[in-house]
């Protein structure tokens, strides 16, 4: 109840409050301040240098008329949906298999987690070598005798974004597996025993008991993967550099190019504002749902 709240004591825990000041300032100035700056200047005609010459929605009109930007958004959607679902599913399956008390578990875990130790740039280059027709998979299969084998994933604009998904999955699934494995290890053995006593098949136990119990782990994983998806840039630069043509462009690359190499700050900031809005549109309802105080009743009865 409102009346029985703690008395207002600003000097309580003073040390802790002082210690939190730098972080609070950082959040206010760096995150919120810079975000506001970005949004404000996205309505100006700023070129290499920011100027407060407001042009209304012009930058946004141009943005959505630019086919490179619309292609970027579409690519991000494809990349996002595919890599999110596949890395969760594959990561969980790998973790579940790993959890069967297999031999050499450590070795396997290292192998699967190893790609994550590489940067996206290295990942991109390695996969470029693997997928390039001239000396990659296509050449190997042709050398085996299948002369007409074609594997144009990097040279045909319709497929390149999937090459990026594949490379991203190769790099990211190991981390998801490790997180999931940690989640699985936290499940009490008693639950497995109880399920076995009740004669529930293993897959049903996973689907209806274990996964719901691992909800926090899934949420952590989701947040981590989503962040990497939205900011995907280096992987694309290393693997395809947006090509062929503009077929594998992504929003972050558009922002970078416009702001730094093409000297059109206004346009770059408008693009990043759209990225922010998209994230907020998805994130805010979910966060409200996820973090709403659902134990209010229990607290009141205490």
Partner 1 sequence: MRYRSVLAALATSTFLFATNPATAADLEVTHWWTSGGEAAAAKVLAESYDKLGGDKWVDGAIAGSGSTARPIIVSRILGGNPMGATQLNTGRDAEDLVKAGLMTDLTELATKEGWADFIRPSKLLDACKYEGKIYCVPVNIHSLQWMWINPNAFKDAGAAVPTNWNEFVAAAPKLKEKGVIPLATGDAWQIDGVFRVLLANLGGKELYLKIVDEKSTEAAGSPEMKAVWQAFANARDLADPGYVGRQWNEATSLVLTGKAGGQIMGDWAQGEFGVAGKVAGTDYDCLPGLGVHPALDTGGDAFYFPKNQNPEITKAQLKLASMLVSKETQVAFNLAKGSLPIRGDVDMQAANACMQKGIKILADSNNVLPSYEQAFSSDTQGQIEDLMTEFFADKSMTVEDAQARYVEIIGEAK
Site string for partner 1, 63-82 (x = CB under 8 A): --xxxx--------------
109 binds partner 1, rule: CB under 8 A? no
Q: In whole angstroms, what is the distance from residue 143 CA to residue 146 CA?
A: 7
**Cβ atoms within 10 Å, residue 77:** 12
Q: Which of 38, 70, 128, 278 binds partner 1 (CB under 8 A)?
A: 128
136 binds partner 1, rule: CB under 8 A? no
Bridge partners (DSSP) listed for residue 129: none
**DSSP secondary structure code for residue 5 in this structure:** S
Q: Which of 152, 200, 228, 278 binds partner 1 (CB under 8 A)?
A: 152
Q: For the CB of residue 288, give the shortest distance to partner 1 in the complex, in Å.
A: 38
The span of 6-14, 29-37, 89-97, 151-159 binding partner 1 (CB under 8 A) equals 151-159
Say if CB 42 and CB 273 are below 8 A apart.
Answer: yes
Q: Which of 38, 70, 155, 228 binds partner 1 (CB under 8 A)?
A: 155
The span of 29-37, 100-108, 129-137, 285-293 binding partner 1 (CB under 8 A) equals 129-137
The span of 27-35, 107-115, 119-127, 256-264 binding partner 1 (CB under 8 A) equals 256-264
Could you say which residues in the range 266-295 bind partner 1, by CB under 8 A? Answer: 267
30 binds partner 1, rule: CB under 8 A? no
90 binds partner 1, rule: CB under 8 A? no
**For 4-32, b where at least 16 C-beta lie within 10 A, e where not — what string?**
eeeeeeeeeeeeeeeeeeeeeeeeeeeee
Looking at the Cβ atoms of 62 and 142, the one nearer to partner 1 is 62
Cα separation values, 129 from 139, 142, 147, 290, Å? 11, 16, 20, 42
Q: In whole angstroms, what is the distance from residue 23 CA to residue 44 CA?
A: 31
The full 3-state SS of 167-235, as one line of letters, equals: HHHHHHHHHHHHHHHHHHHCCCHHHHHHHHHCCCCHHHHHHHHHHHHCHHHHHHHHHHHHHHHHCCCHH
261 binds partner 1, rule: CB under 8 A? yes
What SS3 class is residue 54?
strand
Q: Which of 243, 276, 278, 283 binds partner 1 (CB under 8 A)?
A: 243
Say if CB 236 and CB 250 are below 8 A apart.
Answer: yes
Q: For the CB of residue 119, give the shortest distance to partner 1 in the complex, in Å.
A: 17
Could you say which residues in the range 162-201 bind partner 1, by CB under 8 A? Answer: none
245 binds partner 1, rule: CB under 8 A? yes
56 binds partner 1, rule: CB under 8 A? no
122 binds partner 1, rule: CB under 8 A? no
The full 3-state SS of 232-298, as one line of letters, equals: CCHHHHHHCCCCCCCCCCCHHHHHHHHHHHCCCHHHHHHHHHHHHHHHHHHHHHHHHHHHCCCCHHH
Q: Which of 48, 85, 107, 277 binds partner 1 (CB under 8 A)?
A: 48
141 binds partner 1, rule: CB under 8 A? no
Binding-site ranges for partner 1 (CB under 8 A): 47-49, 62, 65-68, 128, 132-134, 152, 154-157, 240-247, 257-258, 260-264, 267
């Amino acid at each position: 109840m409102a009346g029985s709240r703690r008395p207002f004591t600003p000097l309580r825990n003073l040390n802790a409050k002082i210690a939190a000041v730098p972080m609070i300032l950082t959040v206010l100035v760096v995150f919120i301040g810079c975000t506001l700056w970005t949004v404000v200047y996205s309505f100006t005609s700023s070129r290499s240098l920011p100027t407060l010459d407001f042009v209304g929605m012009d930058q946004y009109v141009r943005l959505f008329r630019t086919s490179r930007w619309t292609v970027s958004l579409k690519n991000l959607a494809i990349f996002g949906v595919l890599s999110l679902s596949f890395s969760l599913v594959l990561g969980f399956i790998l973790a579940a298999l790993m959890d069967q008390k297999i031999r050499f578990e450590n070795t396997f875990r290292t192998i699967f987690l190893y790609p994550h130790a590489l940067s996206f740039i290295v990942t991109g280059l390695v996969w470029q070598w693997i997928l390039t027709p001239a000396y990659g998979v296509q050449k190997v299969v042709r050398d085996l005798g299948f002369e007409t084998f074609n594997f144009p994933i990097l040279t045909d604009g319709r497929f390149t974004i999937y090459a990026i998904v594949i490379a991203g999955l190769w790099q990211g699934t190991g981390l998801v597996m490790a997180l999931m494995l940690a989640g699985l290890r936290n499940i009490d053995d008693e639950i497995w025993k109880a399920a076995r006593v009740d004669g529930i098949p293993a897959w049903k136990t996973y689907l209806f008991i274990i996964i719901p119990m691992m909800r926090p782990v899934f949420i952590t994983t989701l947040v981590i993967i989503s962040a990497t998806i939205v900011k995907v840039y280096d992987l694309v630069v290393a693997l395809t550099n947006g090509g062929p043509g503009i077929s594998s462009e992504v929003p972050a690359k558009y922002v970078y190019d416009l702001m730094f190499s093409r000297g059109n700050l206004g346009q770059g900031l408008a693009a990043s504002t759209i990225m922010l809005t998209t994230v907020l549109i998805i994130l805010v309802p979910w966060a409200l749902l996820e973090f709403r105080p659902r134990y209010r009743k229990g607290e009141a009865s205490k």
